[in-house]
Amino acid sequence: MIKNRIKEFRARYDMKQEELAKRVGVRRETIGNLEKGRYNPSLVLAWNIAKVFDVPIEEIFTVEE
Amino acid sequence: MTVKKFLYGAPGFLSLLGIIGLVSDEKFFLCFFASVLDFEYWFVKSDEMLEEYINKSAARGFFCGMATMGCATVFDFFVNNSSEMDALIMGLTLGWAVALLVYSISTAYFGFKERWGMEKEETP
Amino acid sequence: MKHRINYLGFLSLLALIAVLGWTTDNNGLYGFFGFVYYIRYFRVIPDEFFRLNLQKAATFAFMAEMISLVPFMFFCTYRYTSAKAVPMAFGLSFAVTIFAFTIALIVLEWRERKGAAYD
């Protein structure tokens, strides 16, 4: 299962789901489902999200056994 | 067996239609026996790559079938001057056949690509 | 953000078949007007989550089409003459396919909305 800290990073940057969705080219629903762990992103989307927050991917996404 | 795995092998049930070819004069039904090959998905170990290529192939089959159905119906009605019901039947039959054909070709292509990729890797 | 065309919207073109029913006074084809529902997808951004759900719904519908044809063909061959049985079975199978696709898509969209609560 892939865990993520998107919500935490959004709060840090005071960014709404809509804004992040727009910047990475997806819908707000996708970001919402990602945050709740109901959807595993593709590598490209994960990389784009990490780029928005200017951190390496592994700082936002971690794999839990 | 999971529902997903059951569905992946489900096109194999089409082979049952071959029985109609045996008991009636409609011999083209015998072609459906070829679908028995699809039951192999019940026995192969499923992983995310296999699931992805079956899903992709089925989705391609579905949309190509729908597109063919629409085009064939309109074409048959306007160009061949068939009645609306004959045109629709023609569209439905052709759409179904194209869906199955696209699915079969697509799964065969992905399967071939997968095996070919592995063979290449094994070569030093 | 670059605007991407959502090709699912083009499924609404099948509603044109209903126009054939209109011009030929065949009420049976009016059901195809239901495909107008898919016009709404031109306004939906086709991102990877949407495409994944679409693929799931289409796979389910495709398998339903393949499975349903078998009992329908046997039933229609038994019930009608062979000239009528084949088109009837294909028609019923098509109806099942569209129903399965639409229901699967609605359920997946509902789940998606449920999981995407606002912050």
Within this chain, do residues C32 and C56 fall inside the same structural domain, yes or no? no
Residues near C81 by Cβ (< 8 Å), separated by ≥ 6? Answer: none
With a pLDDT cut of 70, the percent of chain B lying above it is: 94
Does C50 contact A16 at a Cβ distance shorter than 8 Å?
no
Cβ contacts of A1-4, under 8 Å, gap ≥ 24: A1/A37, A1/A63, A1/A64, A2/A37, A2/A40, A2/A41, A2/A61, A2/A62, A2/A63, A2/A64, A3/A37, A3/A61, A3/A62, A3/A63, A3/A64, A4/A34, A4/A35, A4/A37, A4/A60, A4/A61, A4/A62
Same domain, C11 and C25: yes
Contact A20, A49 (CB under 8 A): yes
C26 with C57, same domain: the answer is no
Give the pLDDT band of residue C119 (cuts 50, 70, 90): low
Do C67 and C38 belong together in one domain?
no
Tell me which of B43-47, B94-98, C43-47 is least confident.
Answer: B43-47
The confidence band for C118, taking pLDDT boundaries of 50, 70 and 90, is low
Q: Which domain holds residue C61?
A: 47-119
Q: Pick from C28, C45, C62: which residue ends a domain?
A: C45
| pLDDT value, residue C105 | 93
* Statement: residue B121 has pLDDT above 60: no
Write down the pLDDT at residue B117.
60
Of B20 and C61, the structure prediction assigns the larger pLDDT to C61
Average pLDDT, chain C: 88
Cβ <8 Å between C47 and A17: no
**Confidence at residue C113, expressed as pLDDT on a 0 to 100 scale:** 85
Identify any residues that bridge with A2 across adjacent strands, giving them in sequence order: A63
Q: Phi first, then psi: give them for residue A25, nearest 5 degrees.
A: 80, 30
At C98 the pLDDT is 94
pLDDT in tens, C90-104: 999 999 999 999 999
In angstroms, the separation between the Cα of residue C93 and the nearest Cα of chain A is 32
Q: Quick check: A4 contacting C, CB < 8 Å?
A: no
Q: Which helix (H) or strand (E) holds C100?
A: helix C82-114
- List C-alpha distances in Å: C57 to A56, B7, B21, B97, C8: 34, 13, 32, 20, 12
Is there an interface between B and A (3+ Cβ pairs < 8 A)?
A: no
Cβ–Cβ contacts within 10 Å for residue B45, how many? 5
* Beta bridge pairs of residue A4: A61
Measured CA to CA, the distance from residue A44 to residue B49 in angstroms comes to: 17
Q: What is the DSSP letter of C4?
A: -
Asked if residue C41 and residue C52 are part of one domain, the reply reads: no
Helix (H, G, I), strand (E, B), or coil: what is residue A4? strand
Q: Is the pLDDT of residue B8 over 80?
A: yes
Domains defined along chain A, listed by start: 2-63 (1.10.260.40)
Q: Out of C13, C62, C94, name the one closest to residue B58 (CB).
A: C62
Q: Among partner residues C55, C94, C97, which is closest to B59 by beta-carbon distance?
A: C55
Min CA distance, B116 vs chain C (Å)?
25
| DSSP characters over C66-78 | HHHHHHHHHHHHH
The pLDDT, as a whole number, for residue A38 is 84
Answer yes or no: is pLDDT of B120 > 70. Answer: no
- pLDDT, position C26: 83
Q: In this model, does residue B123 exceed pLDDT 60?
A: no
Domain boundaries, chain B: 1-44, 47-124
B7·C60 Cβ contact <8 A: yes
Please answer yes or no on whether B62 and C24 come within 8 Å at the CB atom: no
Read off the pLDDT of each residue in B27-54 and give the average, rounded to a whole number: 85
Q: What distance in Å separates the CA atoms of residue B40 and residue B9, rounded to the nearest whole number?
A: 7
Going by pLDDT thresholds of 50, 70 and 90, the confidence category of residue B119 is low
Answer for the pair C45, C6: CB distance below 8 angstroms, yes or no.
yes
Q: State whether residue B16 sits within 8 Å of chain C by CB.
A: yes
Cα–Cα distance measured from residue B60 to residue C8, given in angstroms and rounded to the nearest whole number: 12
- Chains near B (3 or more Cβ pairs under 8 Å): C
Comparing A18-32, B34-48, B71-85, the range with the smallest average pLDDT is: B34-48
CB < 8 Å from B in window 15-74 of C = 16-17, 20-21, 24, 26, 28-29, 54-56, 58-63, 65-67, 69-70, 73-74
The per-residue pLDDT for range A4-53, each reduced to its tens digit, is 999 999 999 999 999 999 999 888 888 988 898 888 899 999 999 999 99
Looking at the structure, tell me whether residues C13 and C69 fall in a common domain: no
Between C49, C113, C115, which is nearest A26 by CB? C49
The answer to whether B102 and B110 are in contact (CB under 8 A) is no
pLDDT of residue C2: 62
CB contact under 8 A, C67 and B20: no
C58 with C102, same domain: the answer is yes
pLDDT at A55 over 60: yes
Residues C18, C2 within the same domain: yes
Closest-CA distance of chain C to residue B52, Å = 9
Candidate from C45, C52, C117 with C-beta closest to A32: C117
C77 and C27 in a common domain: no
Residue by residue, DSSP assigns B6-75 as HHHHGGGGGGGGHHHHHHSS-GGGGGGGGGGGGGGGGTSPP-HHHHHHHHHHHHHHHHHHHHHHHHHHHH
Q: Are residues C57 and C101 in the same domain?
A: yes
Q: What percent of chain C stands above pLDDT 90? A: 50
Identity of the residue numbered C109 = E
CA distance B107 to B40: 12
Residue holding tokens 């192999």?
B40
Cβ A29–C113 below 8 Å, yes or no? yes
Q: CB within 8 A of A12, min separation 6: which ones?
A: A53
Question: Does residue C80 have a pLDDT over 60?
Answer: yes
Which residue from C49, C73, B56, C35 is spatially nearest to A31, judged by alpha carbons?
C49
Q: Which two tokens stand for residue C55?
A: 């693929």
